[in-house]
Amino acid sequence: MNDRELRARYLTEVLATLYPPSDGGRVAHFVAVPNARKPRLLVPAGSRRVAAGAVRRYAQPAARSARFKRDLAALALRTGADRALLRDRITVTGADSIEEHLRRVLDRDLTVSVHIGPARANRKPVLQLLAPDGTTVGFAKLGTNALTRRLVRAETVALTALRYARLSTVVVPRVLHSGQWQGHQVLVQEALPAWRPRRPAGVRLPAAMREVAGALGVYRANLTDSPYQIELERRLSTVDCPMLAAAVDRLVERRGDTVLQFGAWHGDWAPWNMAALADAVLVWDWERFTPGVPLGFDAVHHELHQRMERGEEAAAAVDATLTRAPALLDAFGMTREAADVTALLHLVDLAVRYLADRQAEAGARLGVLGTWLLPVLIRRVGDL
């Protein structure tokens, strides 16, 4: 099943979750953007201003062509031309919908726009909350199964902890509401102004990552004796991948005496989860935030995903990221050996995550690690 078919099937599933079928209740009308066959966004059809605002502030695509399509869709919705360009309409009815629930707990008038993401194990309903004037007042996430409920709870804890971390460069969204609805875990967070004009991050990016790394404290230890290594071994024991386990054994055997610094990492600091403004670095999607990992994980993660976003083939992007690790992690004061070990450990950590989450079974685009990550990791560890 391809991505288009998976998105369409997920659309049916997510609407049944958000608007549980019933004989009565409020009717909601949506416009499917760009269409119901490959939906990426459902925007409320009741108000042109709200619908256009939902699209304008839905995302900040990297590609100019994608930004043009977004702006064209917003203009069509604002002017009423959407009947010609965005023809697919969807109507749902629910007596106790998530929309009604959010109105009650937030005590304000709002409508929702629904994001339809690509297939992956951690995909969950993400709702953009819109005021009557079209402004975005927040985002809601729903954990609907064991994995996503855990991730939504983890993000709630992370955002709460980071409110007290006295960050000066990084701006983290505030929690507006946390609770449960229909057995699903709910997190509502404020909308960061990611639609404001952006600036090159430059040296602010590693500075922001160092700030997050030190948010809950930093310690030094050699890899073999570190609590991180103990936890990594525990996580490895929960997945079935002998090649990965053998690579880790060799890495620890050859570089276990390397002294590393350990702190926190965002966990998914990719280009699409941040925005560098003139006066701050906005960062969202903190569901993978974890303390006690090697400093520099965020920098390696960002480099890898930035390369893939630019269109580099995944395995080549992994190789190039590992090669660039010493220069990339110089901002963290690392020796070349520590940088090489850190970059390899990041790949191990990422591989364990993908396997534990069963991304391949979920149909994620990069879910099959044997096609990109594992071959490069095993070769590079073998060269130590």
**Domain segments of the chain: what residues?**
3-190, 204-382
Instruction: Enter the tokens of residue 179.
Output: 């609770």
DSSP letters spanning 57-101: TT---SSHHHHHHHHHHHHHHHHTTHHHH---EEEEEETT-HHHH
C-beta separation of 144 from 123 below 8 A? no
The answer to whether domain 3-190 and domain 204-382 are alike in fold is no
Rounded percentage of the chain residues whose pLDDT exceeds 70 = 93
Torsion angles phi and psi, residue 358, rounded to 5: 60, 50
Please give the CATH superfamily to which domain 3-190 belongs: Phosphorylase Kinase; domain 1 (3.30.200.20)
Give CA 83 to chain center in angstroms: 32
pLDDT tens per residue, range 271-326:
999 999 998 999 999 999 999 999 999 999 999 999 999 999 999 999 999 999 99
Question: pTM of the predicted model, to two decimals?
Answer: 0.92
Q: What is the pLDDT of residue 1?
A: 61
Length of the chain in terms of residues written: 384
Evaluated on CA atoms 308, 312, 315, 320, the torsion sign reads negative
Q: What is the pLDDT of residue 26?
A: 74
Burial (CB count <10 Å: 0-12, 13-18, 19+), residue 189:
buried
Q: What is the pLDDT of residue 68?
A: 67
The CATH class of the 204-382 domain is alpha beta
- In angstroms, rounded to a whole number, what is the distance separating the alpha carbons of residues 8 and 37? 6
C-beta separation of 28 from 19 below 8 A? yes
DSSP letters spanning 333-354: T--HHHHHHHHHHHHHHHHHHH
Torsion angles phi and psi, residue 107, rounded to 5: 55, 50
Q: What is the pLDDT of residue 76?
A: 67
Residue spans of the chain under pLDDT 70: 1-4, 23-25, 59-68, 74-76, 80-84
- In angstroms, rounded to a whole number, what is the distance separating the alpha carbons of residues 317 and 87? 39
Q: What is the pLDDT of residue 211?
A: 96
In sequence order, the 6+-apart residues with CB closer than 8 A to the CB of 41 are 32, 33, 54, 55, 58, 113, 114, 115, 116
Q: What is the pLDDT of residue 65?
A: 66
